[in-house]
C-alpha cells in the first residue's frame, strides 16, 4: 500500500475515532470573551420594560417615564379612573422651548430630566441644565423657578449597612439611578466577597439582573459607601442621591440596656432586670419591689416584657442558656499582618442544646407570679408573637416545637395561668414555618369571639383557614393549588387579598396570580389574568392597580385594572425585545416532563448560547439548587440569567425544580423530609433525558452539574448517587453534611433529633461511592456554611483514593467559587471534562 494512501486511511480512521467534542472547537478565547461580555451585551436592549407610577395628589392620576431604548424615553400621564393614557406634555414643543432658553440642543426623546411635577393643572415643573423650570402647557413658555424635585425614590430595600443576603429568591431586577454629582461603582455583595458590576456616571441608570434578597452596594470615586440596597420582587429602583447614611448596629436582643416594653401602658410602673431577676419600680415614688429572687445566670429572667393593656399583668421571658457552640478557622493570608489569624464565632448546629425560653406571668396588684403550665410548649424552638387581648383577659403566643412538626397558638388565661391550644397544627413530616407561616388576629373586642386567619397545608395544599377560640377551623381557600402569601386583610369588610400559584390549570403552576376572597370563602375575585407571573401595585385610593406580568420567554406586560372586579382598563406598556433578539439572544425554553411517578409535571428551563446551531450537539450542564425552602427555576423575564453565561462556552444549561422543592403540593415538598440527598434527582434525570429526546441538539451522554451552598451539596451528590448519568460536578461551599451546617436550615428539613438519616444524606460518609470528575471550591472564612464541611469531604475522598480538584480561597467567604477566578476555573473544568479539550483562552 502506498505510504500516502495508508496515511490518509489512518487519518480518516483516527478522525472517526475522535470524540465528537473535537469537531466543535470549544473553549477558545472567543467563547470566554463572549461569556464575559454577555451581561453587558444584553443591557438596555429591551424597551418599554417597566412602568413606575408617580401619583398626583388627587390619587387618581399618575405619570411615568417609558424607556424607549437607546437612552430615549417619553413621559406619559394616566387617568386611572378613566383608564386612559396620553403624553404628559408635547415633548417636541418643550424641547424647542428649553433650547430657546438655554441655547443647549435638545432631543424630544432625550430630554435632560427624569422627574416632573404638576403643581396645578396646565403647569409642569422640572429641573434641567442646573435650573428649575416652570412650563405653561398652554403656551409652552418657560420661566425659571425654585423647583424641589428629588426625583424618584428607591423602591428596593434600603439597608443601613452591608448584611448577609436574605436568601436567593426569584429572579428580579434593580434599576440603579445615579443622582449624585460624581461617578459611582455598583458591587454585588455576598458575605465578605464583593464583585464589581458597573460604573455609573452622573445621571446614568443601569438595569441589573439579580435575585430577591441579594445585597448590592454603591461606592463613590473615593471608595465611600453611598448606598446599600437589597433586591426585592417585583423589580425596584435604587436611587443613589447622596442622602444615604449608615445606621448604628442594634444591640443584640437581651443585652444590657434593652428595656423594650419596660414602661407599663398607664406609665405608673417600670420593670427591669437586676441580677437576673425581675424588679418592679413605682415611677412616682421610685420605690422598687422584687418580683422574683430565683433567677440565676443559668436560669435568668430576660429584659423581654409584655404588659397587658390594663397595666395589671406582665409577661417576662425566662431563659435557660444553650450549649453555646463556637467554631474556629484560620485566616491564612490576612491583609494586615504576616502571621495567620484565628477567627472564632458562635455557630449552632443540628442537635445542639438550644436556649429554652418560657413565659412567666405576674399580677402587679399583688406582686405575685402566677404559675403557667408549660406542657403545651415544653420543647420550644421558638416562642414569638406575644399578644394580649384588648380586655387583658388572655395573652397568646405562637409555639414552634423543636423538630418543626408542631405549631401551636397557645392561649393563657391571665387570671389563672391555665393554658389552651387555640390552634394546634401538627404534621408527620415538617411544618414549613420558614416560608408558609401566616397568622393574623382578626380585630374584635371579645376574647371569646376571637378569630385568626391561619395558613396550613393540612389538606395537602397550602391554604388559608379561619380559626376561632372555640376550636373551629373553617377553610377560606381550597383546591389543588397553593396560596403563596397574604398581601393584606380588611377586618371590617372581612376580605383577604392574597397571591397563589396553580389556580389556573392552563398556566405554569409556579406563576403567581393575585386574588381577593371573603373570610367565609365566598366571592373569590381573580385580579390577574395574563399568562405569566404577576406583581401588583395599588393606587393610593385603592380603586385601581397596575398588573405587571412576564415569563422567561415573554417581556413584561403592564396593565391598569379595576380593584373591585379585576376588569382590564387599559394596557399601559408591552416590553419590546426586538433589539435583544436581533443581537442573537436566545430566549430560555420552558420545558415540562413527567417526574418519577409518571404523573407529576416537572418544570424547568433550557438556556442556549447566542451562537446556537441546532445542527450541532452540545453537552448539558445542570445549574442546581434544590434548597427545599423555595422553588428556584426563574419565572420572570430578564435579559440575563446566570445560566446563559455558562451556555456561551458551548453548553446547554438547564435549571429544574424537582420534587422536594416548594410551591407545589405538600406531598411534592415532603420528598425532601429527612432525605436532602434525594434533591429531586430521579425527576431531574428523567427531565433531562426527555428534553434530549425532544431537542436533538442536547447530548444526554455528556452531563455536568454545578451549584453552591445547598447546591454544592446537591452537585456532589449527583456523582455519588447518579454517577452513571452525571459525569462532572463543580461544588462550591457545599453543606455536604447537614450535621455540620447551621441548625435552623437543616433541622427544618432533616428534623430533630439527629438520627441515622443525617448520616445517610451526608456526602462525607458516602464519598467513597463518587464517580466522575469533581471540582470542590471553598472559602476558608465561610461564616455561612462551616468550611470544615468541604474539608471533611476532601478527607473522605483521599481515604477512598478518589481523584478530584480542590481550590481553597484564602480569606474567601461564602460563595467564593463565584469569584472571577473561581468562575474561570469552573468553566475550564467543564470544557475539559465535557468537551474533552484544554481551554485555549490565551489565543
Q: Give the C-alpha separation, 391 to 414, whole Å.
A: 10
Q: Are 508 and 549 within 8 A, CB to CB?
A: no
Q: What is the pTM of this model?
A: 0.87
Which residues, listed in sequence order, are joined to residue 173 by a DSSP beta bridge?
209
Q: Are 225 and 247 within 8 A, CB to CB?
A: no
Q: How many CB atoms lie within 10 A of CB 642?
A: 20
Q: Give the C-alpha separation, 163 to 148, whole Å.
A: 33
Please, which residues have CB within 8 angstroms of residue 82's CB and are 6 or more apart in sequence? none
Residue 476 gets which letter from DSSP?
A: S
Maximum Cα interatomic distance, the chain, rounded to a whole number of Å: 118
Which SS3 state, helix, strand or coil, does residue 710 take? helix
User: What would the grid cell of residue 535 be?
Assistant: 406583581
Give per-residue burial for 396-412: e unless 16+ CB within 10 Å, then b.
bbbbbbbbbbbbbbbbb
Q: Give the C-alpha separation, 661 to 385, whole Å.
A: 28
Q: Give the C-alpha separation, 591 to 609, whole Å.
A: 17
User: What would the grid cell of residue 623 be?
Assistant: 445549574
* Listed residue (64, 91, 84, 68) closest to 76, CA to CA: 64
* Listed residue (703, 726, 694) closest to 618, CA to CA: 703
Q: Give the C-alpha separation, 608 to 140, whole Å.
A: 51
Report CA-CA distances (Å) from 523 to 536, 619, 803.
20, 51, 62
Which SS3 state, helix, strand or coil, does residue 683 take? helix
Q: Give the C-alpha separation, 668 to 600, whole Å.
A: 9
Q: Give the C-alpha separation, 437 to 408, whole Å.
A: 12
- Which conformational region is residue 66 in: left (phi greater than 0), alpha (psi within -120 to 50 degrees), or beta? beta
Which SS3 state, helix, strand or coil, does residue 829 take? helix
3-state class percentages of the chain: helix first, strand second, coil last, to nearest 5: 15, 35, 45
Q: Are 478 and 458 within 8 A, CB to CB?
A: no
* Nearest-10 Cα torsion for 604, 724, 681, 826: -60
Q: Give the C-alpha separation, 193 to 806, whole Å.
A: 19
Q: Are 372 and 417 within 8 A, CB to CB?
A: yes
Which residues, listed in sequence order, are joined to residue 305 by a DSSP beta bridge?
316
- The answer to whether the peptide bond before residue 234 is cis (omega within 30 degrees of 0) is yes
Helices then strands, each counted (H, E), the chain: 12, 49
Cα end-to-end distance, the chain, whole Å: 40
Q: Give the C-alpha separation, 629 to 169, whole Å.
A: 10
Which SS3 state, helix, strand or coil, does residue 732 take? strand
User: What would the grid cell of residue 64 be?
Assistant: 411615568
Q: What is the DSSP string of 477-546?
A: S-SSSEEEEEEEEETTTTEEEEEEESSSTTS-TT-EEEEEEETTS---EE---SSSEEEEEE-TTSSEEE
Q: Give the C-alpha separation, 116 to 87, whole Å.
A: 13
Q: Give the C-alpha separation, 200 to 218, whole Å.
A: 10
Which SS3 state, helix, strand or coil, does residue 486 take? strand
Report CA-CA distances (Å) from 312 to 305, 315, 366, 715.
13, 11, 9, 58
Q: Are 804 and 774 within 8 A, CB to CB?
A: yes
- Cell numbers 404628559 correspond to what residue? 88
- Which conformational region is residue 191 in: left (phi greater than 0), alpha (psi within -120 to 50 degrees), or beta? left
User: What would the grid cell of residue 245 be?
Assistant: 447614611
Q: What are the mean pLDDT values of the chain's consecutive 10-residue runs (843 residues total)?
A: 37 36 64 92 90 91 93 94 97 97 94 90 89 95 77 72 66 82 90 80 81 89 91 80 71 35 94 97 96 97 96 98 95 96 96 97 97 97 96 97 98 97 98 96 89 98 96 97 97 97 97 98 98 95 96 98 98 97 96 98 98 97 97 95 95 98 98 98 98 98 98 98 98 98 97 98 98 98 97 98 98 95 97 91 57
- Cell numbers 419600680 correspond to what residue? 281
Give per-residue burial for 599-627: e unless 16+ CB within 10 Å, then b.
ebebbbbbbbbbebeeeebbbbbbbbbbb
Domains, the chain, in order of start with CATH, read: 54-144 (no CATH), 157-240 (2.60.40.780), 264-426 (2.140.10.30), 585-834 (3.40.50.1820)
Amino acid at each position: 500500500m502506498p505510504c500516502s494512501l495508508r496515511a490518509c486511511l489512518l487519518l480518516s480512521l483516527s478522525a472517526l475515532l475522535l470524540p465528537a467534542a473535537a469537531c466543535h472547537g470549544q473553549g477558545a478565547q472567543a467563547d470566554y470573551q463572549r461569556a464575559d461580555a454577555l451581561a453587558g451585551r444584553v443591557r438596555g436592549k429591551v424597551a418599554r420594560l417597566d412602568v413606575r407610577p408617580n401619583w398626583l395628589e388627587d390619587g387618581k392620576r399618575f405619570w411615568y417615564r417609558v424607556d424607549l431604548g437607546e437612552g430615549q424615553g417619553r413621559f406619559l400621564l394616566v387617568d386611572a379612573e378613566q383608564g386612559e393614557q396620553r403624553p404628559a406634555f408635547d415633548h417636541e414643543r418643550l424641547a424647542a422651548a428649553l433650547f430657546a432658553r438655554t441655547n443647549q440642543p435638545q432631543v424630544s426623546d432625550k430630554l435632560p430630566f427624569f422627574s416632573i411635577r404638576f403643581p396645578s393643572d396646565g403647569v409642569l415643573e422640572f429641573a434641567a441644565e442646573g435650573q428649575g423650570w416652570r412650563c405653561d402647557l398652554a403656551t409652552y413658555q418657560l420661566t425659571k423657578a425654585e423647583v424641589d424635585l428629588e426625583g424618584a425614590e428607591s423602591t428596593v430595600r434600603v439597608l443601613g449597612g452591608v448584611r448577609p443576603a436574605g436568601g436567593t429568591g426569584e429572579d428580579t431586577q434593580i434599576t440603579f439611578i445615579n443622582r449624585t454629582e460624581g461617578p459611582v461603582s455598583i458591587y454585588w455583595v455576598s458575605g465578605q466577597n464583593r464583585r464589581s458590576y458597573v460604573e455609573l456616571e452622573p445621571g446614568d441608570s443601569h438595569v441589573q439582573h439579580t435575585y430577591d434578597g441579594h445585597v448590592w452596594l454603591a461606592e463613590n470615586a473615593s471608595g465611600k459607601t453611598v448606598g446599600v440596597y437589597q433586591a426585592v420582587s417585583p423589580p425596584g429602583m435604587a436611587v443613589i442621591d447622596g442622602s444615604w447614611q449608615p445606621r448604628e448596629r442594634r444591640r443584640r436582643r437581651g443585652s444590657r440596656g434593652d428595656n423594650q416594653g419596660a414602661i407599663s401602658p398607664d406609665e405608673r410602673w417600670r420593670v427591669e432586670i437586676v441580677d437576673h431577676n425581675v424588679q418592679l419600680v413605682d415611677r412616682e415614688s421610685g420605690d422598687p419591689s422584687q418580683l422574683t429572687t430565683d433567677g440565676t445566670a443559668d436560669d435568668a429572667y430576660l429584659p423581654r416584657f409584655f404588659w397587658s393593656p390594663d397595666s395589671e399583668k406582665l409577661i417576662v421571658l425566662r431563659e435557660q442558656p444553650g450549649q453555646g457552640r463556637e467554631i474556629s478557622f484560620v485566616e491564612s493570608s490576612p491583609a494586615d499582618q504576616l502571621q495567620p489569624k484565628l477567627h472564632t464565632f458562635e455557630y449552632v448546629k443540628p442537635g445542639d442544646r438550644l436556649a429554652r425560653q418560657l413565659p412567666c406571668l405576674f399580677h402587679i396588684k399583688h406582686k405575685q407570679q402566677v404559675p403557667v403550665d408549660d406542657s403545651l410548649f415544653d420543647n420550644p424552638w421558638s416562642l414569638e408573637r406575644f399578644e394580649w387581648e384588648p380586655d387583658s383577659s388572655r395573652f397568646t403566643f405562637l409555639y414552634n416545637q423543636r423538630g418543626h412538626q408542631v405549631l401551636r397558638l397557645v392561649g393563657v388565661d391571665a387570671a389563672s395561668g391555665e393554658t389552651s391550644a387555640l390552634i394546634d397544627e401538627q404534621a408527620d413530616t415538617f411544618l414549613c414555618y420558614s416560608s408558609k407561616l401566616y397568622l393574623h388576629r382578626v380585630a374584635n373586642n371579645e376574647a371569646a369571639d376571637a378569630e385568626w386567619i391561619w395558613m396550613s397545608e393540612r389538606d395537602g395544599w397550602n391554604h388559608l383557614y379561619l380559626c376561632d377560640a372555640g376550636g373551629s377551623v373553617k377553610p377560606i381557600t381550597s383546591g389543588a393549588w397553593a396560596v403563596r402569601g397574604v398581601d393584606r386583610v380588611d377586618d371590617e369588610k372581612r376580605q383577604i387579598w392574597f397571591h397563589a400559584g396553580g389556580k389556573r390549570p392552563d398556566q405554569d403552576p409556579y406563576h403567581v396570580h393575585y386574588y381577593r376572597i371573603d373570610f367565609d370563602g365566598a366571592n373569590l375575585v381573580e385580579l390577574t389574568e395574563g399568562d405569566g407571573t404577576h406583581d401588583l401595585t395599588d393606587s393610593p385610593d385603592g380603586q385601581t392597580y397596575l398588573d405587571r406580568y412576564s415569563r422567561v420567554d415573554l417581556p413584561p406586560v403592564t396593565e391598569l385594572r379595576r380593584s373591585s372586579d379585576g376588569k382590564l382598563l387599559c394596557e399601559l406598556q408591552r416590553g419590546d425585545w426586538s433589539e435583544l433578539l436581533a443581537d442573537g439572544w436566545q430566549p430560555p425554553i420552558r420545558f415540562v416532563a413527567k417526574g418519577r411517578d409518571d404523573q407529576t409535571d416537572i418544570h424547568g428551563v433550557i438556556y442556549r448560547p447566542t451562537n446556537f446551531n441546532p445542527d450541532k450537539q452540545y453537552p448539558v450542564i445542570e445549574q442546581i439548587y434544590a434548597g427545599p425552602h423555595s422553588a428556584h427555576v426563574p419565572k420572570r423575564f430578564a435579559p440575563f440569567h446566570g445560566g446563559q453565561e455558562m451556555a456561551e462556552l458551548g453548553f446547554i444549561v438547564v435549571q429544574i425544580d424537582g420534587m422536594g422543592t416548594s410551591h407545589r403540593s405538600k406531598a411534592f415538598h415532603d420528598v425532601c423530609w429527612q432525605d436532602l440527598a434525594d434533591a429531586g434527582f430521579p425527576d431531574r434525570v428523567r427531565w433531562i433525558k426527555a428534553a434530549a429526546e425532544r431537542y436533538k441538539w442536547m447530548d444526554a451522554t455528556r452531563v455536568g452539574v454545578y451549584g453552591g451552598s445547598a447546591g454544592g451539596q446537591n452537585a456532589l451528590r449527583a456523582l455519588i448517587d447518579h454517577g452513571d448519568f452525571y459525569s462532572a460536578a463543580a461544588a462550591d461551599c457545599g453543606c455536604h453534611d447537614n450535621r455540620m451546617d447551621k441548625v435552623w436550615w437543616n433541622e427544618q428539613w432533616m428534623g430533630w433529633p439527629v438520627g441515622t438519616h443525617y448520616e445517610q444524606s451526608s456526602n462525607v460518609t458516602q464519598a467513597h461511592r463518587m464517580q466522575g470528575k469533581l471540582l470542590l471550591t471553598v472559602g476558608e472564612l465561610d461564616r455561612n456554611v462551616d468550611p470544615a464541611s468541604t474539608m471533611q469531604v476532601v478527607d473522605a475522598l483521599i481515604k477512598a483514593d478518589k481523584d478530584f480538584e480542590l481550590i481553597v480561597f484564602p480569606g474567601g467567604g461564602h460563595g467564593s467559587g463565584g469569584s472571577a477566578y473561581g468562575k474561570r476555573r469552573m468553566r475550564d473544568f467543564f470544557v475539559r471534562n465535557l468537551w474533552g479539550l484544554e481551554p485555549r483562552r490565551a489565543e
